[in-house]
Amino acid sequence: MADECTLDLLLREAIEKNASDVHIVCGQIPKLRIHGRLYSLGSCAVSAEAVRIFLKAVLSDVQRLHLEQERQLDFAFTEAERRFRGVAYYALGETALSLRLLPRDIPTPDALGMPSALRSLTGEKHGLILIGGKTGSGKSTTLAAFLEEINQTRDAHVLTLEDPIEVIFTPKRAVISQRELGRDFTSFPEGLKAALRSDPDILMIGELREAQTMRIALQAAETGTLVLATLHTKNAVEAAIRIEGMFPSEEQEQIRQQLAAALLGVFSQRLLPMKGEGRIAATEVLLTTPAVKNILRTGKFAQLANVILSGRSQGMQSMHDAIRLLEKQGKIASSTM
């Protein structure tokens, strides 16, 4: 590589090496994350000018203004026929980048090892499905595989609200409307209100971040729309606590009632290194049985963990059991936990 790294060449090399993430900080050697580990790419540092040239090429004027004013930006772009999701932020006064390579093709549920309990919900007409996990746990990939299954099997209108759009779907049986924050709608609450006037059968919300979005999502799930969303929580207990905590105390009882009525399941993921190469998701599964609905109504969320353990015959699965199953199948090393 030249003395001054050019980001287009860097990203092409990341694609060739099958990296999952690229980290670029001005004045430092770029790093690739491959199968969960960080590696240096080349020996030259990335200059602030190289980052500016790159961002000028991939961002709109509106996005560049947002970055300058807010000092951070989520965005997506295509390079060398691969889709990337990016976060731009400032470090020591210069713009830094964290970029994630998105899958070339939407994986099938079988390829992902998607729990059968989640796959069985692709035919549901209404209700709320939550995909949990920390950043980088594969939530977006799971959502994409779920929606692609619907795209191939149902005559339905699928509408997504995303920040940013990651996977671009090719319509098959479904009609698919993908909307991006900042370009196609101004806020998630306003975008969600408009979406419900567009006759959606399935509504995907990139992330449930605050009370107003959560409130509208619950109403939609109760009244005839299948709603999918992600939460940055590690398990079902945390998901329930976080949802309740979005609201003031005087509203929490009503929200618990709505959650009990609307929720179909919570699927919380962790990405684990596979034997050989690659990573695979282990998934905790909570399904809303009558016992779970009662717990949600009363707010005794700590009991959810025990219900998952006693609900194996109904398709539920603890994270411990999910990891042990992957070990038994020979997909991960027994030392993972």
Q: What is the pLDDT of residues 53-85, one digit of tens each?
A: 999 999 999 999 999 999 999 999 999 899 999
> What's 207's DSSP letter?
-
The pTM for the full model equals 0.89
**Cβ contact 119:267 at 8 Å:** no
Alpha carbons 30 and 28: distance in angstroms, whole number = 6
Residue 39 CB coordination number (10 Å): 12
pLDDT number for residue 3: 38
Q: What is the dihedral of CA 16, 17, 18, 24, to 10 degrees?
A: -100
**Cβ contact 264:235 at 8 Å:** no
Q: Of 128, 61, 140, 112, whose CA–CA distance to 286 is shortest?
A: 128
**Cβ contact 220:196 at 8 Å:** yes
Residue 110: which residues within 8 A CB-CB, separation 6 or more? Answer: none
Residue recorded with tokens 């509203």: 251
Angle, CA 100 vertex, CA 174 and CA 152 arms, to 5°: 15
Alpha carbons 134 and 274: distance in angstroms, whole number = 19
pLDDT above 50: residue 2: no
- The reply to whether CATH 3.30.450.90 applies to domain 7-101 is yes
What ranges do the domains of the chain cover? 7-101, 109-328
- Going by pLDDT thresholds of 50, 70 and 90, the confidence category of residue 19 is very high
pLDDT digits (tens, 9 = 90+) for 198-231: 999 999 999 999 999 999 999 999 999 999 999 9
Candidates 3.30.60.50, 2.30.30.30, 3.40.50.300, 3.30.565.10; CATH matching 109-328: 3.40.50.300
Handedness of CA 247, 250, 256, 257 (dihedral sign): negative
- Going by pLDDT thresholds of 50, 70 and 90, the confidence category of residue 5 is low
Residue recorded with tokens 């090399």: 13
Average of per-residue pLDDT across 7-24: 93
- Going by pLDDT thresholds of 50, 70 and 90, the confidence category of residue 279 is confident
pLDDT digits (tens, 9 = 90+) for 85-124: 999 999 999 999 999 999 889 999 998 999 999 999 999 9
pLDDT digits (tens, 9 = 90+) for 25-52: 999 999 999 988 899 988 889 999 999 9
pLDDT number for residue 1: 38
Angle, CA 38 vertex, CA 26 and CA 53 arms, to 5°: 30
**Cβ contact 156:174 at 8 Å:** yes
Alpha carbons 261 and 293: distance in angstroms, whole number = 7
- If residue 150 lies in a helix (H) or strand (E), which one and from where to where? helix 139-153
Alpha carbons 191 and 238: distance in angstroms, whole number = 26
Mean of the per-residue pLDDT values of the chain: 93
- If residue 262 lies in a helix (H) or strand (E), which one and from where to where? helix 249-262
pLDDT number for residue 85: 94
pLDDT digits (tens, 9 = 90+) for 115-166: 999 999 999 999 999 999 998 899 999 999 999 999 999 999 999 999 999 9
Average of per-residue pLDDT across 181-203: 94
For the chain, count helices (H), then strands (E): 13, 13
Alpha carbons 95 and 73: distance in angstroms, whole number = 10
- Going by pLDDT thresholds of 50, 70 and 90, the confidence category of residue 333 is confident
Q: Is there a common fold for 7-101 and 109-328?
A: no
Q: Of 267, 248, 258, whose CA–CA distance to 297 is shortest?
A: 258
**Cβ contact 83:251 at 8 Å:** no
**How are beta strands 202-205 and 157-162 bridged, if at all?**
parallel
pLDDT number for residue 36: 82
pLDDT number for residue 154: 97
